[in-house]
Structure 1
Amino acid sequence: MFTPSQQDVRRFFCDSFKKSHAREILTPLEAIAADWIHQHPEYDQILSNLEAALEADYSVDQGKGNPFLHLSMHLSISEQISVDQPRGVKHAFQILAKKLNSEHEAHHQMMECLGEMMWNSQRTSLPPDGEAYIEALRKRAS
């Protein structure tokens, strides 16, 4: 299993930003990342400076949102939807997107559920509970 470091993730998004703006050829994963980057122009300044991005502190006590975590969650959710894993996530996304009239806002709602599932997994030292995640998505969609 591939487990990138914090620095790897930051480099990936900064490189995707740079390549996209230079109109260079992107890998399929970079293209998906670039789509989400374009939907978050508030991150342009951060992504345009790799050295500063590598040094930035986004710890909770700093009180700033972490753009790399946010973009990573968009990427994870996009992948979940594309392969419908956990089973039912694609349908829940479709319902949420229709209800909210926005795929982007549906992603943000899904992030809340994904974050809660991951927090519970870390807190209990158990594997992530995909069923609980889908149930949380269903509740938001209804």
Structure 2
Amino acid sequence: MFDPSRDQVRNFFIQTWRKRADGLPLTPLETMAADIIGLHPEYHALLSDLDSIGREFSPEDGAVNPFLHLSLHLAIEEQLSIDQPPGLRTAFARCQLRAGDRHEALHMVLDCLGETVFNAQRNQRPPDGAAYVECVLRKAGRL
């Protein structure tokens, strides 16, 4: 099973962004990641700095962890590509229609994924796919 360390994940995003900037060939996963990074210009300088691998991003300090944000984006893109959990692709399409913008719709789903992962960890249970899709559908109906 794939279980990278925090530094390996961060290095993946940094090296992917460097390869995109240098015009080097990317794997399909790197292409997906680079496209996501491209949507977040606020992270470009950070991803150009190798020292950012060890940086701490504390919610208590009001800091958003850009590596977590990008990782959740990447997870959602992979989930959408295989419609897993079942119904996510349709729920996302509804979000996108309501939001009028794919990136905004992805952030709606990202909120639901974060909530789903948090609940799974808190309850020490596997993530509830049905509740996740239900959350996305609720977000689609709120706009």
- TM-score normalised to structure 1 length: 0.97
1:16 aligns with 2:16: yes
Kindly provide the CA deviation profile for residues 65-113 of structure 1, in whole angstroms up to 9, marking residues without a partner as x: 0110111111000000000000000001111111101110011000111
Q: Aligned AA for 2:99?
A: L
Q: Aligned AA for 2:88?
A: V
Kindly provide the CA deviation profile for residues 21-77 of structure 1, in whole angstroms up to 9, marking residues without a partner as x: 000000100000000111111101100011x21121012223210110111111000
Q: Whose relative contact order is higher, 1 or 2, with alpha carbons under 8 Å and at least 6 apart?
A: 2
Q: Give 4+ residue runs of structure 1 displaced > 6 Å after superposition.
A: none
Residue matched to 1:33:
33
1:135 aligns with 2:128: no
What's the secondary structure of 2:17's corresponding residue?
helix
**Equivalents in 2 of 1:39, 1:100: separation in Å?**
16
Residue matched to 1:44:
44
How many residue pairs get aligned? The number is 141
| Conserved 8 A contact 2:7-2:54 | no
- TM-score normalised to structure 2 length: 0.96
Q: Say what the alpha-carbon RMSD is for the aligned residues.
A: 0.8
Instruction: Using the TM superposition, name which of 56-65 and 103-112 deviates more.
Output: 56-65
**Equivalents in 1 of 2:107, 2:4: separation in Å?**
23
The gaps in structure 2 that reach 5 residues or longer are none
Q: Aligned AA for 2:52?
A: A
What's the secondary structure of 2:110's corresponding residue?
helix
Q: How is 1:75-86 mapped onto 2 (pairs within 5 angstroms)?
A: 75-86=74-85
What's the secondary structure of 1:17's corresponding residue?
helix
1:106 aligns with 2:127: no
Q: Aligned AA for 1:37?
A: I
The gaps in structure 1 that reach 5 residues or longer are none
| Conserved 8 A contact 2:116-2:127 | yes
Instruction: Using the TM superposition, name which of 106-115 and 56-65 deviates more.
Output: 56-65
What's the secondary structure of 1:79's corresponding residue?
helix
